[in-house]
Amino acid sequence: MGGLAIFFEEQGLATTQISLIRIHSERTSPPRALWVPFELGRPLGVPNDPGFQKRVIRAALELLNAERGPLIVDYTEEVPLTAAPGAEAMNGMVCPVDFPPLPDETAPTSEIGIALMKEISALAPWYDIAVSSRGRTTVGPSGLSIVQAGKYLAAFLEDQTAPCPRDDMTMDRVLKLAYEDLKAYYTEAVTMQPGYATSSQVEDWLFRETVLGAALWRLRTLCRANENESYGYLGRNSIIPDRQINPVNRAAN
């Protein structure tokens, strides 16, 4: 959309847009964009809340008052936790899994690897229920078992030259597919537990309350500092969602 907006502006048409992925807007530099911290697929927030949705639309339209760009403005109002009458409720999550304690920021990488494997094991019953209930899973593109994926992630955190578990792909490709499989495994498992609410709450849980989340934050730092551009690209664009890095009213990481 940002690219189309540039062409429309060249023809004399003023444009504005709503952006869900900030880094895409930064790359395309649209004339005017409103970045919203909402989950993908919901650019106006929660369904059936016209008051909130109108405020988002008005904020986007107000950008038309800016004569020149490129311009990216952050929308500062969070999705309401208490639903308006008729709107979808934003209930909290209940997670009846006994997870290992989160390693602190100074914990050695080996400790994270051990805790990660315990966490993967704790989620296994819920993942099995999810697959049985839904009859499908999105886990698997890496070609590794989930335990192998976890072990490779842990090994890479300790040593970026750790042997790749597949010899038919580049290391960076296997690494990406491994952590994407782990994300899918956690997401599918937790959404079968009592109290599952929205995908944004699941995302917050994964990246803020799990050992996998702690491991992925470390992985992001390592990849961004790696001289190999393919790893640098993963660190900048793939490992942690943009709204986790730059959430409204939360200190940037």
Chain segment 6-63, per-residue pLDDT in tens: 778 878 888 899 988 777 788 888 889 999 887 666 788 877 788 899 999 999 999 9
pLDDT given for residue 97 in this prediction: 57
Nearest by Cα to 39 from 76, 79, 67: 79
Beta bridge partners of 17: 33
pLDDT given for residue 63 in this prediction: 92
pLDDT given for residue 14 in this prediction: 87
Say if residue 86 is exposed, middle or buried (CB neighbours under 10 Å; 0-12, 13-18, 19+): exposed
pLDDT over threshold 80, residue 214: yes
Tokens of 148: 């192998």
Chain-wide mean pLDDT for the chain? 84
pLDDT over threshold 50, residue 89: no
29-43, 77-91, 164-178 — which one is most confidently predicted on average? 164-178
Cα angle 200, 204, 209 (rounded to 5 degrees) comes to: 155
pLDDT over threshold 70, residue 155: yes
Average pLDDT over residues 133-153: 95
Residue 133 has a CB neighbour count (10 Å cut-off) of 10
Say if residue 33 is exposed, middle or buried (CB neighbours under 10 Å; 0-12, 13-18, 19+): buried
Domain assignments of the chain as residue spans, ordered by start: 2-74, 109-248
Q: Structure pTM?
A: 0.63
pLDDT given for residue 44 in this prediction: 87
Which ranges of the chain would DSSP assign to H, the alpha helix?
A: 2-10, 22-28, 50-62, 109-134, 146-158, 171-190, 199-209, 211-225, 229-237, 242-245
Average pLDDT over residues 190-200: 69
Q: Which residues does 91 contact at the CB level (< 8 Å), separation at least 6?
A: 195, 197
